[in-house]
Structure 1
Amino acid sequence: MIDRPVVVGVDSSESAGHAVRWAAVDAALHGAELHLVFAVPPFVETPLDDSPVRLWHDEYRQTAEQALADAARAAAEFAAPHGDLEIRTFLVDAPPIPTLTSLAATARYVVVGSRGLGAYHRSLLGSVSTALTRHALGPVVVVPSVPVPDTTLPVVVGVDGSPYSTRAIEVAFDEASRRGAGLVAVHVWDRLGQSGSGSQERAEQVLADSLAHSRAEFPGVSVRSVVTEDRPVRTLLAESEAAQLVVVGSHGVGGFPGMTLGSTGEALLPVVACPIAIVRLRN
């Protein structure tokens, strides 16, 4: 198996600080490297550039270097109770969105705060987190601006029987196992059968079948099943209020080729009160 690092997008925002703390704990629990990445848009010198522009860029790089050093210290502190952690810092002369999108292809996760320095004060999601959840080449975790949740709280996973859901289940069981936490598996259905169920009995069977493999692989994880006739977002949001992590597939049974993010993930991202992992299929 490829040894995948946990990658964090760093800036000087409070939101990024929360992302660093969550990622440090997760990397320590997985025995993975933590890569802290501060991407600074490159300065392109032309005959029209004047010295104030260069000065601003140089000062911004110095701010980035300090932010990375501060992030590394915070990561080491938060990871210490959970295991050893190797931390590497990267100051990259490139725009943040394409940089992090590409790194997601080989990372365990790319972790970002819900809002960075460039987000409007009233914005619920920043441009970087929005772009990554839609276009990253691997799993993305978005961490809201709240203290890192207690690792004894349950992990919640959305289940709909799709291949993306299967991968989300695998990730959720792994996270719950490493954290010594329980798992809440949520499957909702409707009478028209649009969720792939159509009745309570059928929905319970879909959930049981979906969980069977991971239950056998992680027998120590306690599972609570939630099967209800409702909207997926409403049920997942309710369960997330007492959770440390929500895991959903990037697409569900209603997805289609070329779709970048399903409706459930899209709706949860701005409002969920704990970190949320958007899981994609990849080689």
Structure 2
Amino acid sequence: MTLHPQTTEDSRSAPRWESYVAIGDSFSEGLWDISPVDPEKCRGWADLLAMTLSTRRQAAGESPLRYANLAIRGKQLGPIIAEQLDAAIDMKPDLISIIGGGNDILRPHVDIDSIAAQLDHAVARARAAGIDVLMGTGTDFGGQGSLALTRSRVALYNAHIWSIAQRRGAYVKDMWGTRSVADPRLWADDRIHLTTQGHQLVADIALVGLGLRPENPRYAQPLDPSPVASLADRTRGNIDWAKVHVGPWIKRRLTGTSSGDNRTAKYPTLEEVR
């Protein structure tokens, strides 16, 4: 199957997708980019992508994009596929983003080949239904920070994602290859979710992955250097992070609970984005 061309669209033309459904975990739900319209909801890169696609469509005289977001925080890839994929396919959208596996990779024991096979099957099902698919690679933090020990797992999973994309004719949002997104200032206090600025950057990475022009042409350029924190400040920050974020995460693992328990999708049906 031929890969979709990764070229920039004519600025006068409308994105060809009329409908888009995002499925996944907290990353696609949008933690921690709070919606300026509804403080009870997160916004995030997928919502920003939908807004941009819709704005460009309307500017070209086409109908607004219809959008749904079924992503729920805390979900591993298996439950994402089991609980969200059928509902997404049943909506018959033109585009689905399937972003998951990060919560699997954070577990002490994970079979990367197994979750990649699950992702491949999910992409194949969507493509067989005539739906375009957007996947995403994980970020490369260069073996530094709180996620340093997961680097080899993320790299292996990313290799699978690129192979799946080539085999199935899917698009890839390449965060690993966009070094600017690894800046710690783009990540929230929990160190595994993005800030508002981070989500804006990832929305541009998604646009480029879809063969479209980014909103910010300088999206891939690094931020200006910041002052280096002292050892004492870094130590205090690590202690606070462990207390506020790591401890509760470990407790949830030990008790078999999830941050997504009893939560429902924030946008469960296709609605016009205006």
> What is the TM-score with the length of structure 1 in the denominator?
0.29
Q: Comparing both chains, which one has the higher relative contact order based on Cα–Cα distances under 8 Å and sequence gaps of 6 or more?
A: 2
Which is greater in Rg? 1
